[in-house]
Structure 1
Amino acid sequence: MSERSPAPGGLGLVETLVNTLDLETGADSLDTEEGRAPPGLTEDDVPAARELRESLRATLLAHAGHPPHRAVTPLGELLAAAPLVVAVDPADGSAALAPAGEGSLTARVAAAVAQALVAGTWSRLKACEAADCHWAYYDRSPAGRGRWCSMQVCGARAKMRRYRAKES
């Protein structure tokens, strides 16, 4: 799990959703009403939220240069069904894609991805390289080559494994 600051803008929603499952312990905050994140998910929304979460995780692993850990529905297929509208601010004329109506979780994620694409930040949201982690984090490194959610935990473990492998 990361000690990093949250992802900027709408990517915080994506990061929060992906991080509802702790792969190391198996704890899934979508299992309980009080633990559900993002807020507003009902019990009926949970299966779709899990499918979306794992498709997002696979995409974030790809951002970090890693294959998905299992087969999932492609993220593009899930987001294609998201009802979005172009919202124009009457005060300054700025425009952005926004969820239509009340905004389903999928539509809110699609809007966040669109916003991040325009801002050039989408590919900086990644999943940790550690197989027992895959925690979502926003890569703030200058070169955009971060590999772990936490250098102190996942990065240190990986470096120690490599060191021990050399010693054997």
Structure 2
Amino acid sequence: MSARSAAPGSLALVESLVNTLDIRPGADALDTAEGRARFSLTEDDVPAARELRESLRAALLAHAGHPPHAPVTPLGDLLASAPLRVTVDAADGAAALAPVDGACLLSRVAAAVAEALVAGTWQRLKACEAEDCHWAYYDRSPAGRGRWCSMQSCGARAKMRRYRAR
């Protein structure tokens, strides 16, 4: 689990969703009423939310150059069915994609991904290299080559394992 600050803008939603599963202890926040409430989910919405979460995790692992952790539905396939609309601000003419139904998690995630693509920040949202972690984090390193959610935990463990292997 990371001590990093949250991802910028709407990417915080994506990061938060991916981090609802803490792999090490196997705790899934979507199993709790509070966890579901954070995303306006009902119990019936949870299977689709988990599918979306794991597809996002696979994309974030790819951003960091890691292979997928498990077979998943391609993220593009899931996001293609998200109901979105183009909004244009009357004052400055700025355009954006917005969810048709503000409560629909898939639409909110699709809008967040679109916003991050335009802002050039999507590739900076990554998943930790550690197999027992895969926590989402926003890579703020100057070169954009971060590998772990936290150098103090996952990074230190990985370096210690490599040291001991030598």
Give the TM interval when normalised to the shorter protein. Answer: over 0.9
Q: Decide whether the 8 Å contact of 2:102 with 2:108 is kept in 1.
A: no
Unpaired runs of 5+ residues, structure 2, are none
Q: Could you say what secondary structure the match of 1:36 adopts?
A: helix
What is the Cα deviation at residue 39 of structure 1?
3.0
- Taking the aligned partners of 1:95 and 1:22, their CA distance within structure 2 comes to 36
RMSD of Structure 2 on Structure 1 (CA): 0.9
The answer to which of 122-131 and 34-43 deviates more is 34-43
Task: Give the residue type in structure 2 aligned to 1:70.
Answer: A
- Taking the aligned partners of 2:40 and 2:103, their CA distance within structure 1 comes to 11
Task: Give the residue type in structure 1 aligned to 2:99.
Answer: P
The answer to which of 54-63 and 83-92 deviates more is 83-92
Q: Decide whether the 8 Å contact of 1:135 with 1:149 is kept in 2.
A: yes
For 2:28, the equivalent position in structure 1 comes to 28
What is the Cα deviation at residue 44 of structure 1?
1.1
The answer to which of 155-164 and 34-43 deviates more is 34-43
Q: Decide whether the 8 Å contact of 1:29 with 1:37 is kept in 2.
A: no
Q: Decide whether the 8 Å contact of 1:16 with 1:37 is kept in 2.
A: no
Task: Give the residue type in structure 1 aligned to 2:75.
Answer: L
Unpaired runs of 5+ residues, structure 1, are none
For 2:41, the equivalent position in structure 1 comes to 41
What is the Cα deviation at residue 103 of structure 1?
4.3
Identity %: 80
Task: Give the residue type in structure 2 aligned to 1:150.
Answer: S
The answer to which of 31-40 and 112-121 deviates more is 31-40
- Taking the aligned partners of 1:157 and 1:37, their CA distance within structure 2 comes to 34
TM-score, normalised to structure 2, is 0.97
For 1:112, the equivalent position in structure 2 comes to 112
Alpha-carbon distance change, 28 to 148 in structure 1, aligned in 2, over 3 angstroms? same
TM-score, normalised to structure 1, is 0.96
The answer to which of 121-130 and 34-43 deviates more is 34-43
- Taking the aligned partners of 2:76 and 2:165, their CA distance within structure 1 comes to 39
For 2:58, the equivalent position in structure 1 comes to 58
Task: Give the residue type in structure 2 aligned to 1:74.
Answer: P
Count of aligned pairs: 166
Alpha-carbon distance change, 121 to 37 in structure 1, aligned in 2, over 3 angstroms? farther
1:162 aligns with 2:162: yes
Question: Runs (4+) of structure 1 moved beyond 2 Å?
Answer: 35-39
Q: Decide whether the 8 Å contact of 1:17 with 1:38 is kept in 2.
A: no
- Taking the aligned partners of 2:38 and 2:125, their CA distance within structure 1 comes to 17
- Taking the aligned partners of 1:37 and 1:135, their CA distance within structure 2 comes to 21
For 2:123, the equivalent position in structure 1 comes to 123
Alpha-carbon distance change, 139 to 37 in structure 1, aligned in 2, over 3 angstroms? farther
Aligned ranges for residues 120-159 of structure 1 at < 5 Å?
Answer: 120-159=120-159
